Amino acid sequence: MADAKDPSNAAIADLLDELGDLYELDGAVVHRVLAYRNGAKAVREAPRAVAAMVRAGTVTELPGIGATLEEKLQALLTTGSIPALEKLRGKLPAGLLQITRLPGLGPKRARKLHDALGVDGPVALRDAIAAHRVRELPGFGAKSEERLLAALDAAGDDLAGPERHRLDRALQVGEALVAALREVPGVDRVELAGSARRRADTVKDLDVIATAEDPAALLAAFRSSDLIADVERGGEAGAHGTTQTGIGVDLRVVAPDQFGNLLQHFTGSKAHNVAIREAAVKRGLHVSEYGILDDATGESERFAREEDVYARLGLPWIPPELREDRGELRLTEVPRLVEPGDLRGDLHMHTTASDGTASVREMALAARDRGLEYVAITDHSASHGFGNAVSADRLRELIAEVRAVDDELDGITVLAGSEVNIGTDGALDYPDELLVELDWVVASVHTAFTSDPTRRIVAACEHPLVDVIGHPTGRKLGQRTGYELDLDRVVEAARGSGTFLEINGSPARRDLHDVHARAARDAGVLLCIDSDAHRTETLENTLWGVMTARRAWLTAQDVANTRPWPELRALRKGGR
């Protein structure tokens, strides 16, 4: 088990990334730098607390963590710092790392600016450009000064990395754009690639791959689309633009016979492609976006279909959601991942009784229209603090209302539930004799995020009347990272008690996220995919939950609410 003061996986991964960046600035060979970045990825995606693995001496089981990185992590845990990192930080100013985020300025050239001109950050760089000292350096010229100045002006004060966009917002415009381009006469195929196709939580930009008998018509349609605000550059082979909503779009037009190669390449992830290519080299094959070169024949093969690219490499077609280099290349057969149509029920939603906008009846009807067999009405509990608090007396009325709607409506079972707050003491804010009246109990943390959420959630798991933990980590994409949670202990508590864990489908949450949901499943925990709908329209949020579940390698069997309600009811803890 992790110590309360241990750094999180994310914090450890950030340190390894920083080490890689600093070693790169220091002129280390590229593969050593890559080793730190691979190590950072392994730590960031590790399902268990890496600090605990370091203490247990098992951290080298992670792919990419060897003896040297283990030693550095041991130092981090025993002394609180990594000596090599401290030394490099003393040698290379933080501002130097910042300016490498400027487009066109990498570690080599940044280091040259530092060593020759004393540039230690964006301010010093701007001064050096103003004095025309940069153009005097070998490898730099007037054009370099011009471009760097423009980049400094565009970057703003903090030189932060590129903004990332939530998947729902990216897909909304991305799918509309793809649909519009498919309608253009002379256009053959158009597909969304990149992290949007992999259904990642967030995307940096949109990649669109197309084939067309008439590429000019396609490009003209792209330029004039009312979804696109402006097109920065473009030729015959593609264009780069920005949507009205501020998301960059790369459009590539390719020959039909290599559409499969391009789609595979631009779907990524980068780590997936690197792993594919490394494995291919061992078989005498060289994979690129243009084809697969066979050493034996010297011939390069192109494929119109992505399935054939994978087949040529001896692999089954791998669903995009799995392409993260998390073991998918060892699959000989791809599991049938859960699909939206597999969900029979939705066990987390709100009505006007708390902070929703629709009645019990309206929510039930909308769910029935969506093809669901059952729903649980789970308004917030007595101490929620947002919208209407549902007192114990009010909940009794609400249960009666739910029973009445359930009696009235055919074709859908309406269950009485609640989303109960987990207090700072780990207790729930309704008495047990009321909770036992409910068909379904979601328990969630909504307050005091820093007040030992692990202990509180474990306590909720051990409560005999709690069915599922709602949005277990509390993260909100682009807003907050979630509570400092020991997921190992939560998963163990859920497994031991028979509590389900939620994949909350709100596109701002998608919580649990994919890595943790996969770890929970592997530990033997059943997941619930819920909408957390506050309006009838957001019942469709389960779609985002399914995307996360697929990225977690989940099958329908791994998801509790793919079962008919009588079967799921019997699976609850204690068979209550």
Partner DNA sequence: GCCGTTTTCGGCCCGACTGTTTTCAGTCG
Which residues form the interface with DNA (CB under 7 A)? 29, 31-32, 34-36, 38-39, 60, 63-70, 100, 102-110, 135, 138-144, 147, 250, 273-274, 277-278, 280-282, 286-290, 293
Can you state the angle between helices 9-25 and 83-91, rounded to 10 degrees? 50
Smallest gap, in angstroms, from Cβ of residue 452 to DNA?
A: 34
Residue 459 CA to residue 528 CA, distance in Å, equals 19
Smallest gap, in angstroms, from Cβ of residue 478 to DNA?
A: 20
Nearer Cβ to DNA, position 36 or 374?
36
Cα-Cα-Cα-Cα torsion 564, 526, 11, 50, nearest 10 degrees, comes to -160
Residue 488 CA to residue 473 CA, distance in Å, equals 12
Smallest gap, in angstroms, from Cβ of residue 321 to DNA?
A: 20
Nearer Cβ to DNA, position 103 or 371?
103
Residue 435 CA to residue 161 CA, distance in Å, equals 47
For the range 401-407, what are the long-range contacts, defined as Cβ-Cβ under 8 Å and sequence gap of 24 or more?
Answer: 401/360, 402/360, 402/377, 405/360, 405/361, 405/364, 406/364
Smallest gap, in angstroms, from Cβ of residue 73 to DNA?
A: 10
Nearer Cβ to DNA, position 6 or 70?
70
Smallest gap, in angstroms, from Cβ of residue 286 to DNA?
A: 3
Name the token pair of 290.
């243009």
CA-nearest of 199, 206, 204 to 549 is 199
Smallest gap, in angstroms, from Cβ of residue 324 to DNA?
A: 16
Residue 576 CA to residue 498 CA, distance in Å, equals 12
Smallest gap, in angstroms, from Cβ of residue 186 to DNA?
A: 23
Beta bridge partners of 182: none
Nearer Cβ to DNA, position 125 or 556?
125
Local structure of residue 156 (DSSP, 8 states): T
Contact between residue 539 and residue 346 where contact means Cβ atoms under 8 Å apart: yes
Nearer Cβ to DNA, position 103 or 246?
103
Smallest gap, in angstroms, from Cβ of residue 28 to DNA?
A: 8
3-state secondary structure of 89: helix
Nearer Cβ to DNA, position 16 or 347?
16
Smallest gap, in angstroms, from Cβ of residue 32 to DNA?
A: 4
Smallest gap, in angstroms, from Cβ of residue 105 to DNA?
A: 6
Nearer Cβ to DNA, position 141 or 564?
141
Which stretches of 131-214 are DSSP H helices? 142-155, 167-182, 194-197
Can you state the angle between helices 167-182 and 215-224, rounded to 10 degrees? 130
Smallest gap, in angstroms, from Cβ of residue 137 to DNA?
A: 8
Cα-Cα-Cα-Cα torsion 543, 544, 548, 554, nearest 10 degrees, comes to -10
Nearer Cβ to DNA, position 300 or 383?
300
* Tally of CB atoms within 10 A around 173: 20
Nearer Cβ to DNA, position 107 or 453?
107
Beta strands in 320-396 (DSSP E): 345-346, 374-377
Nearer Cβ to DNA, position 290 or 317?
290
Q: Are strands 374-377 and 187-193 parallel, antiparallel or unpaired?
A: unpaired
Name the token pair of 248.
């960059």
Q: 269: cis peptide before it, omega within 30°?
A: yes
Phi, psi of 500 (to 5 degrees): -85, 155
Nearer Cβ to DNA, position 90 or 139?
139
Nearer Cβ to DNA, position 69 or 366?
69
3-state secondary structure of 418: strand
What contacts 224, CB < 8 A, 6 or more positions away? none
Name the token pair of 402.
């739910």
Smallest gap, in angstroms, from Cβ of residue 53 to DNA?
A: 13
Smallest gap, in angstroms, from Cβ of residue 244 to DNA?
A: 21
Phi, psi of 242 (to 5 degrees): -130, 135
Residue 216 CA to residue 124 CA, distance in Å, equals 45
3-state secondary structure of 260: helix
Q: Are strands 165-166 and 202-203 parallel, antiparallel or unpaired?
A: antiparallel
Smallest gap, in angstroms, from Cβ of residue 5 to DNA?
A: 24
Nearer Cβ to DNA, position 119 or 549?
119
Integer angstrom CA distances of residue 361 from 379, 408, 416: 14, 9, 12
Can you state the angle between helices 392-408 and 360-369, rounded to 10 degrees? 40
Smallest gap, in angstroms, from Cβ of residue 39 to DNA?
A: 6
**Helix%, strand%, coil% for the chain, nearest 5:** 45, 15, 40
Residue 461 CA to residue 493 CA, distance in Å, equals 6
Nearer Cβ to DNA, position 50 or 546?
50
Nearer Cβ to DNA, position 159 or 543?
159
